[in-house]
Amino acid sequence: MTPPAARTTVDEVFGDLLAFLVDTSPTTATQLGNHRRDGDLDDWGPDEAERRMRTLSGLAARIDELDAGDDAEAAGDAVLVGDAVAALRFELEGLRAHATDPLHYLGLATGSVYDLIRRDDLPAAPRQQAAASRAAQVPRLLEQAATNLTELPAPHRELALVRLPGAAALFRDTLPGFAPDAAEAGEAAARACEAFGAVLSDRADDPAPDWRLGADRWADALRLALGVRMPAEEVWERANASLPVLQGEAEQLAAQVLDGRTDGLRGRELVAAGLAEVARDRSERDALVDDAAGVLGGIKEFLRADGAFELPDPDALRVEHVPDFLQGYAVAFFMPAPPLEPAAAHTYYLSPVPDAWDGEQAASFLREYNVHALRSVGIHEAYPGHYVQLAAAQRHPRLLRRALWNSAFAEGWAVYAEREVVAAGYDGGPPQQPDSDRRARLRLVSAKMEMRAVANALLDQGLHVAGWSDDQALELLVGTTYQERSEATGKLVRGKVSAGQLSTYFVGGEEMDDLRRDVEAARGGGFEARAFHRDVLAEGTPPFAVLRRALLAQPERQG
Instruction: Give Cα separations from 134 to 29, 168, 173 (angstroms).
Output: 13, 14, 16
Polymer length of the chain: 559
CA–CA dist 96, 192 (Å, integer):
23
The closest of 175, 120, 121 to 325, measured between CA atoms, is 175
Most distant CA atoms of the chain, gap in Å:
90
Q: Cβ-count burial of 280 within 10 angstroms (0-12 exposed, 13-18 middle, 19+ buried)?
A: exposed
DSSP string for residues in 516-534: HHHHHHHHGGG--HHHHHH
Q: Cβ-count burial of 262 within 10 angstroms (0-12 exposed, 13-18 middle, 19+ buried)?
A: middle
CA–CA dist 480, 483 (Å, integer):
8
Pairing of strands 346-350, 332-335: antiparallel
Query: Would you write out the chain's pLDDT as a tens digit for each of its 559 residues?
Result: 444 445 679 999 999 999 999 999 999 999 999 999 999 999 999 999 999 999 999 999 999 998 877 788 899 999 999 999 999 999 999 999 999 999 999 999 999 999 999 999 999 999 999 999 999 999 999 999 999 999 999 999 999 999 999 999 999 999 999 999 999 999 999 999 999 999 999 999 999 899 999 999 999 999 988 889 999 999 999 999 999 999 999 999 999 999 878 788 899 999 999 999 999 999 999 999 999 999 999 999 999 999 999 999 999 999 999 888 877 566 889 999 999 999 999 999 999 988 888 999 899 999 999 999 999 999 999 999 999 999 999 999 999 999 999 999 999 999 999 999 999 999 998 888 888 899 999 999 999 999 999 999 999 999 999 999 999 999 999 999 999 998 999 999 999 999 999 999 999 999 999 999 999 999 999 999 999 999 999 999 999 999 999 999 854 444 4
Q: What is the pLDDT of residue 558?
A: 43
Per the omega criterion (within 30 degrees of 0), is the bond before 314 cis?
Answer: yes
Q: How far is CA 7 from the centre of its chain?
A: 36
Contact 270, 254 (CB under 8 A): yes
Instruction: Give Cα separations from 367 to 47, 58, 448 (angstroms).
Output: 49, 51, 13
In 221-306, alpha helices (H) = 232-258, 267-278, 288-294, 296-306
Q: In what order do the strands lie in the sheet with 332-335?
A: 317-321, 346-350, 332-335
- 41: which strand partners? none
Handedness of CA 104, 108, 110, 114 (dihedral sign): positive
Contact 519, 527 (CB under 8 A): yes
Instruction: Give Cα separations from 531 to 320, 514, 534, 546 (angstroms).
Output: 32, 17, 5, 18
The closest of 504, 491, 503, 412 to 460, measured between CA atoms, is 503
Q: Cβ-count burial of 265 within 10 angstroms (0-12 exposed, 13-18 middle, 19+ buried)?
A: middle
| Residues near 461 by beta carbon (within 8 Å), at least 6 away in sequence | 218, 232, 235, 236, 503
321 three-state secondary structure: strand
Q: What is the pLDDT of residue 3?
A: 46
CA–CA dist 57, 462 (Å, integer):
32
In 424-556, alpha helices (H) = 436-464, 470-474, 485-497, 504-523, 529-537, 544-552
In this structure, what DSSP letter does residue 180 have? G
Categorise residue 414: left if φ over 0, alpha if ψ from -120 to 50, beta otherwise. Answer: alpha
Long-range contacts of 531-539 (CB under 8 A, 24+ apart): 533/308, 533/309, 533/310, 533/384, 534/310, 536/413, 537/388, 537/389, 537/392, 537/393, 538/392, 538/396, 539/76, 539/396, 539/401
CA–CA dist 29, 18 (Å, integer):
9
CA–CA dist 357, 328 (Å, integer):
12
CA–CA dist 449, 434 (Å, integer):
22
Secondary element (H or E) of residue 91: none
